[in-house]
Amino acid sequence: MTITNLDPKSKIGILLVNLGTPEATDYWPMRAYLKEFLSDPRVIETNRALWWVILNGIILTVRPKKSGHAYAQIWNKEKNESPLKTFSRDQAEKLSQSIGNPNIIIDWVMRYGHPAIAQGLKRLKEHGCDKVLVFPLYPQYSATTTASVFDKVADAMKTMRWQPTLRYVPPFYDDPIYIKALAKRTNDYISSLDWIPERIFVSYHGLPQEYCDKGDPYYQHCIATTDALQSALNLDGVKLETTFQSRVGRKEWLKPYTDKTIVEAAKTGTKNILLISPAFISDCVETLEELSIGVAQEFKQAGGQNFTVAPCLNASDTSIKMLNAIVTRELQGWI
């Protein structure tokens, strides 16, 4: 939708925010990215002094090499960047074309890594934006993701004498606009397969169980997304099954675990599995490496035959229409 009826003297900024990405796959760029990510108290809720010792003494010695190997398998070698950075840039550029108003400036940033949130806000201010719509690209709210974006935006605003007026796009886990786009993307992908999925799993990024016990609504939002997607898809009686991936450490995380559930399915005779990842707007290391490579291998080693992960919305036409519809709605009163 083309946005009109904007005061020609006024400019509005839209800041798309995704999770983050390293700048390269070798040790030091990976270490820098992981240090920023794992130093966030929203992500790791524990004694800060103890965690500093564990993080700097153990994790940042070992983890960069392992994570770098995972990123190297899915790295966009043509542009020398992670797929998440490629998709985020493409989304911003195509959304700008879709909106078609020179007084609405769209930028994209990462919560961790580059381009940073503070840089994005500064660029929008330099373009003359006196109002900014911050759009965290996390459908389901969690303090570890959405709230962390709020924190970083607030940190940046503290340094600005002339601050723009801010709005935030709310979580959109069961928004009909999002569910419709997700269902179309999934239906189109299922239609392209030359085999029929016996079981369809909906895998979300995991979260320590204790975070939800403290009141984080993430689990409820994930279940709501699955329920809404179930109603929107044409699955001929196949029931979506919710699982959670990407756990680390020894603490209990949200269950059931994706990898263990998929392996058990193979061992009990399931040959054909489709997996959907609605927690991610764009494909990233979790979908392209952890699921599409790692879990796929485990499934086949356990006796499975066909395993595939449906592509995320990315910068598809369906995705851009969804983003356009959401920002158009959230800009009401400013346009």
What are the tens digits of pLDDT across the range 134-168?
999 999 999 999 999 999 999 999 999 999 999 99
> Is residue 3 over pLDDT 90?
no
CATH of the domain at 138: 3.40.50.1400
Residues 161, 43 share a domain: yes
Six token digits for residue 149: 């974006």
Residues 15, 157 share a domain: yes
Residues 38, 166 share a domain: yes
Residues 273, 257 share a domain: yes
Residues 211, 115 share a domain: no
- Other C-beta atoms lying within 10 Å of the C-beta of residue 263: 18
Per-residue confidence (pLDDT) for residue 78, from 0 to 100? 97
For range 32-46, the mean pLDDT:
95
Our count of domains for the chain comes to 2
> Is residue 1 over pLDDT 90?
no
For range 103-130, the mean pLDDT:
97
Residues 200, 66 share a domain: no
Q: Is residue 225 part of a domain?
A: yes
Q: Is residue 239 part of a domain?
A: yes
Residues 325, 285 share a domain: no
50, 62 Cβ separation under 8 angstroms:
no
Reported as a single tens digit per residue, the pLDDT across 109-122 is: 999 999 999 999 99
Q: Is residue 5 part of a domain?
A: no
Six token digits for residue 159: 């340094």
Give CA–CA dist 314/316, Å, rounded.
6
Strand order from edge to edge, sheet including 165-168: 104-113, 11-21, 129-136, 165-168
> Is residue 36 over pLDDT 80?
yes
Q: Is residue 280 part of a domain?
A: yes
Per-residue confidence (pLDDT) for residue 249, from 0 to 100? 82
Instruction: Give the structural domain span for 206.
Output: 176-309
Per the prediction, the chain carries an average pLDDT of 95
Helices 176-192 and 317-330 cross at an angle (nearest 10°) of 180
Compute CA distances 216 → 69, 70, 199, whole Å: 32, 29, 29
For range 3-12, the mean pLDDT:
67
The identity of residue 292, as a single letter, is S
93, 117 Cβ separation under 8 angstroms:
no
Q: Whole-prediction pTM value?
A: 0.94
Residues 185, 220 share a domain: yes
Instruction: For the chain, report the end-to-end CA distance as a whole number of angstroms.
Output: 13
Q: Is residue 335 part of a domain?
A: no
Residues 244, 228 share a domain: yes
Residues 70, 112 share a domain: yes
Residues 167, 35 share a domain: yes
Per-residue confidence (pLDDT) for residue 306, from 0 to 100? 98
**Nearest Cα to Cα of residue 248 among 284, 209, 208:** 208
Give CA–CA dist 289/174, Å, rounded.
27
Residues 296, 185 share a domain: yes
**Residue 236: pLDDT band with limits 50, 70, 90:** confident
| CA 303 to chain centroid | 31
124, 111 Cβ separation under 8 angstroms:
no
> Is residue 17 over pLDDT 90?
yes
